[in-house]
Amino acid sequence: MSVIDAIRKRRSNGMIEEREVPRDLIEKILDAAVCTPVHYNTSPWRFQVLTGEARNRLGKYMAQCFVENQPDPEAPAVKAKVPVIEKKALRAPVIIVTAAAKSANPRAIEEEDVASATVACQNILLAAEELGLACIWRTGSFTYGDRMRELLGFEEGTRLTGFMYLGYPAKQPPAIERPTSGPYTEWFDQ
């Protein structure tokens, strides 16, 4: 399949079986993930691969971030949501947490490193597609607060870019009509 066809046919798929994904497939995906353009050679990509019990830890962190953000963390309605949120990290057998590290290079531009680590997320989606795996890029407000970064143990200054839920597809999503770029593009020749 051509690269352009793969890009146009790719679908996010959150309908994922609870079946183990071999480590070599995950490594193949991550090796594709780091093939992004990157300014000043900063190697900003950081990943945490969460499988098995490690996902429960993420679920607890998601719930903790939610509770800490509530005006009344002790409210019964808040407490009732905790077990629901905790289970969200069990929606796939593999979750790849993606992030951009803060570069020590004084010339590095944070936005560019985040951009490069964000492109890695698209590489993950495309690589998963080629390997017949389902993948969906998820975030949530906790992604951008410093608390989740800290709970996961990423170094200070690291910016989370996504939570890639990965596994074997339980169902295939339907093909969709992709947009064309016309409405979003202006052309200038002077």
58: exposed, middle or buried (C-beta count within 10 Å: 0-12, 13-18, 19+)?
buried
Query: Residues 138, 145, 151, 169: which binds ligand FMN (CB under 6 A)?
Result: 138
Among 22-30, 86-94, 132-140, 181-189, which window interacts with ligand FMN (CB under 6 A)?
132-140
Task: Give which of 128, 131, 133, 135 is closest to 163, Cα–Cα.
Answer: 135
Tell me the closest approach of the beta carbon of residue 136 to ligand FMN, in angstroms: 6
23: exposed, middle or buried (C-beta count within 10 Å: 0-12, 13-18, 19+)?
exposed
Query: Residues 45, 47, 66, 137: which binds ligand FMN (CB under 6 A)?
Result: 137
Tell me the closest approach of the beta carbon of residue 13 to ligand FMN, in angstroms: 7
How far, in whole angstroms, is CA 58 from its chain's centroid? Answer: 13
x/- map, 146-165, ligand FMN, by CB under 6 A: ----------------x---
Is the CB of 10 or the CB of 40 nearer to ligand FMN?
Answer: 10
Q: Which residue is nearest to ligand FMN (CB)?
A: 12
Query: Residues 6, 8, 11, 51: which binds ligand FMN (CB under 6 A)?
Result: 11
Is the CB of 105 or the CB of 172 nearer to ligand FMN?
Answer: 172
Q: From CA 154, how far away is CA 100, in angstroms rounded?
A: 10
Q: From CA 139, how far away is CA 143, in angstroms rounded?
A: 6
Strand, helix or coil for residue 147: helix
Site residue total, ligand FMN (CB under 6 A): 9
Q: From CA 39, how far away is CA 45, in angstroms rounded?
A: 12
Query: Residues 69, 70, 139, 141: which binds ligand FMN (CB under 6 A)?
Result: 139
Strand, helix or coil for residue 64: helix
Tell me the closest approach of the beta carbon of residue 15 to ligand FMN, in angstroms: 11
Query: Residues 8, 34, 51, 140: which binds ligand FMN (CB under 6 A)?
Result: 140
Strand, helix or coil for residue 92: coil
Strand, helix or coil for residue 38: coil
Using CB under 6 A as the binding rule, whether residue 88 contacts ligand FMN is answered as: no
Sites of contact with ligand FMN (CB under 6 A): 11-12, 14, 136-140, 162
